[in-house]
C-alpha cells in the first residue's frame, strides 16, 4: 500500500505564518524608515497623497489637466504620516508675464496659524522647515499666491513634494 503525503498542514502553516510578516512589512513601509518620501501630482490623474488645487471657483482647467489660476490664493494639501524636518516643494508653472508668485506652508503657534511664504527659485522650488506645521487629518496645507492682474496667464501643471527627516532605524 502506497502512502500519499498530505502537504495541506504545511501549506496552511506557511500561509498563516506569512500573514503577520506581510502586515508588519506594511506597517514598516508606512512608517517610512528611510526618512525620505516623495509625492508627485501631474493633474492628469488623481494623486493619493496630494489634493487637487482648491477652491475650484478660482481655477480653470487647461489642456492636459493643468490648472489656470483665475484668482488667488489657491491651496493644496499633502499627506503627512510622520514627522519630517524639511519639506521641498516643486511646482511647475507656465508664467509668460513673469508674475511674482509665492509658495507657503501653513504653520501655527498657540492657536494662530499663518503661512511661511517663500518666493520659489527659477525651477519653482522652495524649501520649508517642517517644524511648527499645522497638521490636520494627517495632512499639511500649502498656498500658492500670485501677484498681478488675474487676466494674465498663470498655469500650474505639476506638483512634487519631497519630505526629509531622520531615519527610524540607524545602525
Tell me the C-alpha distance between 156 and 62, whole Å. Answer: 9
* pTM, 2 dp: 0.80
Kindly indicate the confidence band of residue 50, based on its pLDDT and cuts at 50, 70 and 90: very high
Between 112 and 165, the more confident residue is 165
Q: What is the mean pLDDT of the chain?
A: 86
Quickly state the pLDDT bin for 11 (edges 50, 70, 90).
confident
Strand partners for 142: 76, 105
Average pLDDT, integer, range 108-119: 83
- pLDDT attached to residue 1: 58
- Cα dihedral 80→84→85→87 (10° resolution): -40
CB-CB contact of 77 with 114 (8 Å): no
Return the biggest CA–CA distance within the chain: 92
- How far is Cα of residue 90 from the mean position of the Cα atoms in its chain? 11
Residue ranges and CATH numbers for the domains of the chain are: 34-164 (2.60.120)
Amino acid at each position: 500500500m502506497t502512502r500519499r503525503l498530505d502537504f495541506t498542514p504545511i501549506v496552511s502553516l506557511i500561509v498563516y505564518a506569512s500573514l503577520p510578516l506581510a502586515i508588519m512589512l506594511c506597517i514598516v513601509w508606512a512608517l517610512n524608515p528611510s526618512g525620505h518620501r516623495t509625492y508627485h501630482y501631474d493633474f492628469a490623474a488623481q494623486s493619493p497623497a496630494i489634493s487637487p488645487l482648491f477652491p475650484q471657483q478660482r481655477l480653470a482647467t487647461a489642456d492636459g489637466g493643468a490648472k489656470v489660476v483665475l484668482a488667488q490664493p489657491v491651496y493644496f494639501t499633502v499627506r503627512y504620516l510622520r514627522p519630517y524636518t524639511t519639506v521641498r516643494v516643486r511646482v511647475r508653472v507656465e508664467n509668460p508675464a513673469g508674475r511674482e508668485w509665492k509658495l507657503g506652508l501653513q504653520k501655527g503657534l498657540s492657536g494662530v496659524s499663518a503661512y511661511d511664504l517663500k518666493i520659489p527659485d527659477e525651477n519653482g522650488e522652495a524649501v520649508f522647515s517642517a517644524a511648527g506645521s499645522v497638521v490636520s487629518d494627517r495632512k499639511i496645507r500649502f498656498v500658492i499666491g500670485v501677484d498681478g492682474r488675474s487676466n494674465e496667464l498663470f498655469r500650474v501643471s505639476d506638483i512634487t513634494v519631497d519630505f526629509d527627516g531622520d531615519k527610524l532605524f540607524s545602525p
